[in-house]
């Protein structure tokens, strides 16, 4: 990979930027924030309501798919979202994803069986993944990269705050037997978002018939990547729960998925016809490649913190699910301001390299400190260590996109951001799985035999054991709590090691000039009949 800057003409003077955040811009921005809120509140609130949903619907043995179906669908659709946004325009594509999210919400809320609920969650996942991708793409259309950090940080705040309030909302509705409102409440919000997008999001759009545009869609690439992602995620969400990790039911789909992703990249490089989903010139620069690698590692470690800190609270500290979600608030409310400060610092300094190196070191220290927590740790310890870790992760939440986009012209924003979202979301799935494997292996080693023998081989010990800990007699209860704390200590050490890998990925990036203007073909319309030529089928590779 070459580290040289591609031959694109970038405006470097801030005064030459055409970006003016007027009232129309802020109305569009609020509509995008509503879309992000929709996806985030649904994803975060359902987890605490899962036991209640499982108890109310027939087919409870497959309740894990209430969450997994959403994750699988939202991940698989991300590369396609950039493809559709480029060919059909931002507005109609975003409206389509809002409609799918609303349909999925209605089906899940009205479900009378687990199969119906899972089907609804799958449709919701397609809509939710598209909402997140299109929100980032439209912000990139409207705001130059040099000034984008602040606005992306606001979106990150919406996500962080919504993720914080979602679990208590889900728990409260579940406890009152009103879990269906978790999904029905989305319908009026979808109507508001769709109305705002239809009325205010007037971006230039490519001309041409739908038939012509459909021919330009990379259908073969879509089938390959969606099939590969579905196969890999299927293995990851079932491994250690439905089947042992060494079983053919897990190994075969995992191998098929990983090989399929390699086949997809080869196809995109050499054989694609029409509009490629992931133009591989996105990766033809070591700075962009380091940004994608950093985003992948960040996806691994950030989800492990959010996913397994409540496990510590519920097991070692005997907190209820609802209380554990409240104990996680220091993470959510630290990430948000750190993301804003990072965006502001990039806009003011026109630099992003330090913001991609220093936070990895902070996160390493934070995870090492988390590994010292025991069942008797003070509130100051688990709050302070969470805050320190979240400072590092909050900065990285925003900073990794700048090295990805800096080497590219603004015209590549849609594809680059859709692929970045795909990388980060796929890493989330891998992160949960890595954490589960480490925790499972450590619990098998550290739990007292009198307790661990109650669980069949291959069962997810953590989630089967946690509800029983509070009812155990002494000294067995303390022994089990110590075993969980010790096992999670190992998990945090592994996560610190992954952060070290993230630090290494940041060392390859260079400080490049950031674009001070946006791509004119996706600017806001001044007249209703403005259109732009459809981009050519193949993108020129940047010069090395």
pLDDT of 278: 66
Whether residue 362 has pLDDT greater than 90: yes
Model pLDDT for residues 250-298, shown as the tens digit of each residue: 888 888 888 888 888 788 777 776 666 666 666 777 888 898 899 999 9
Q: Which two tokens stand for residue 501?
A: 């890998």
CATH fold for the domain made of 21-218: Growth Hormone; Chain: A; (1.20.1250)
Mean pLDDT on 527-539: 43
For residue 271, give the DSSP letter: T
Q: Residue 255: how many CA atoms within 13 Å on its side-chain side?
A: 8
pLDDT at 498: 95
| 60-84 CB burial, b ≥16 within 10 A, e <16 | eebbbbbbbbbbbbbbbbbbbbbbb
Is the per-residue pLDDT at 501 higher than 90? yes
- Give mean pLDDT, residues 84-109: 87
Partner residues linked to 531 by β-bridges: 205
Indicate the class that CATH gives domain 283-512+519-529.
Answer: mainly alpha
Compute CA distances 486 → 13, 59, 372, 460, whole Å. Answer: 54, 35, 9, 17
Q: Provide the pLDDT for residue 319.
A: 85
Choose the most confident range, by mean pLDDT, from 85-89, 449-453, 501-505: 501-505
Q: How confident is the model at residue 12, as a pLDDT? A: 38
pLDDT, mean of residues 59-88: 72
The pLDDT > 70 percentage for the chain reads 80
Q: Is the pLDDT of residue 37 over 90?
A: no
Residue 312 sits at the vertex; the CA angle it makes with 306 and 314, to the nearest 5 degrees, is 105
* Amino acid 6: pLDDT: 38
Beta-bridge partner residues of 205: 531
Is 422:79 a contact under the CB 8 Å cutoff?
yes
- Cβ–Cβ under 8 Å, residues 279 and 268: yes
What is the mean predicted confidence (pLDDT) over 26-55? Answer: 77
Q: Average pLDDT for residues 499-524, to the nearest whole number? A: 76
Sign, Cα dihedral of 51, 131, 190, 29? positive
Q: What is the pLDDT of residues 426-471, one digit of tens each?
A: 887 778 778 877 887 888 888 888 787 776 665 567 666 777 888 8
Q: Left (φ > 0), alpha (ψ -120 to 50) or beta: where does 202 sit? A: beta
Mean pLDDT, rounded, of the chain: 78
Q: What is the pLDDT averaged over residues 337-348?
A: 84
pLDDT at residue 359, rounded to an integer: 94
pLDDT at 535 exceeding the cut of 70: no
Summarize the confidence of residues 516-536 as an average pLDDT.
Answer: 49
Q: What is the pLDDT of residues 148-160, one digit of tens each?
A: 777 877 887 787 7
**Tokens 């796929």 appear where?**
426
Res. 170 pLDDT band, cuts 50 70 90 = confident
pLDDT at 140 over 90: no
């Amino acid at each position: 990979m070459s580290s040289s800057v591609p031959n694109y003409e970038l405006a470097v003077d801030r005064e030459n930027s055409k970006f003016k955040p007027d009232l129309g811009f802020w109305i569009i921005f609020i509509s995008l924030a509503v879309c992000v809120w929709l996806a985030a509140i649904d994803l975060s609130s359902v987890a605490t309501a899962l036991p209640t949903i499982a108890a109310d619907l027939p087919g409870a043995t497959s309740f894990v798919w209430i969450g997994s179906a959403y994750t699988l669908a939202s991940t698989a659709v991300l590369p396609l979202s950039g493809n559709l946004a480029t060919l059909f325009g931002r507005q109609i594509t975003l409206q389509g994803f809002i409609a799918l999210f609303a349909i999925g919400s209605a089906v899940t809320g009205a479900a009378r069986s687990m199969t119906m609920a899972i089907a609804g969650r799958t449709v919701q996942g397609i809509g939710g993944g598209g909402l997140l991708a299109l929100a980032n793409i439209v912000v990139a259309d409207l705001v130059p990269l040099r000034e984008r950090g602040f606005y992306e940080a606001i979106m990150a705040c919406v996500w962080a705050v919504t993720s914080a309030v979602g679990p208590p909302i889900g728990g409260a509705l579940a406890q009152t037997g009103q879990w269906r409102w978790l999904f029905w409440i989305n319908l009026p919000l979808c109507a508001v978002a769709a109305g705002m997008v239809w009325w205010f999001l007037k971006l230039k759009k490519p001309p041409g018939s739908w038939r012509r545009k459909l021919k330009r869609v990379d259908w073969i690439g879509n089938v390959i990547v969606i099939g590969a992602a579905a196969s890999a995620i299927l293995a990851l969400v079932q491994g250690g729960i439905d089947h042992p990790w060494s079983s053919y039911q897990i190994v075969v789909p995992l191998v098929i998925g990983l090989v399929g992703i390699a086949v997809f990249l080869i196809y995109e490089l050499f054989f694609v016809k029409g509009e490629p989903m992931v133009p591989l010139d996105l990766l033809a620069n070591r700075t962009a490649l380091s940004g994608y690698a950093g985003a992948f590692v960040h996806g691994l470690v950030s989800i492990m913190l959010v996913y397994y800190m409540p496990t510590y609270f519920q097991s070692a500290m005997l907190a209820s699910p609802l209380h554990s979600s409240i104990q996680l608030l220091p993470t959510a409310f630290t990430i948000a301001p750190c993301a804003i400060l990072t965006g502001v610092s990039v806009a003011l300094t026109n630099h992003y390299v330090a913001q991609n190196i220093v936070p990895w070191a902070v996160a390493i220290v934070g995870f090492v400190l988390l590994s010292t927590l025991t069942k008797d740790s003070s509130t100051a310890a688990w709050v302070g260590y969470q805050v320190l870790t979240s400072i590092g992760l909050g900065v990285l939440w925003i900073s990794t996109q700048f090295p990805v986009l800096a080497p590219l012209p603004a015209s590549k924003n849609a594809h680059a951001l859709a692929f970045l979202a795909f990388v980060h979301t796929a890493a989330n799935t891998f992160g949960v799985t890595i954490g589960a494997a480490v925790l499972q292996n450590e619990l098998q080693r550290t739990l007292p035999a009198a307790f661990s023998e109650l669980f069949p081989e291959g069962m997810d010990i953590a989630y089967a054991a946690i509800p029983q800990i509070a009812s155990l007699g002494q000294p067995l209860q303390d022994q089990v709590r110590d075993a969980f704390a010790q096992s999670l200590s190992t998990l945090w050490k592994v996560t610190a090691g992954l952060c070290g890998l993230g630090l290494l990925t940041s060392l390859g990036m260079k400080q490049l000039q950031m674009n001070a203007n946006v791509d004119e073909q996706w600017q806001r319309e001044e007249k209703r009949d403005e259109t732009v030529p459809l981009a050519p089928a193949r993108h020129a590779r940047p010069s090395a």
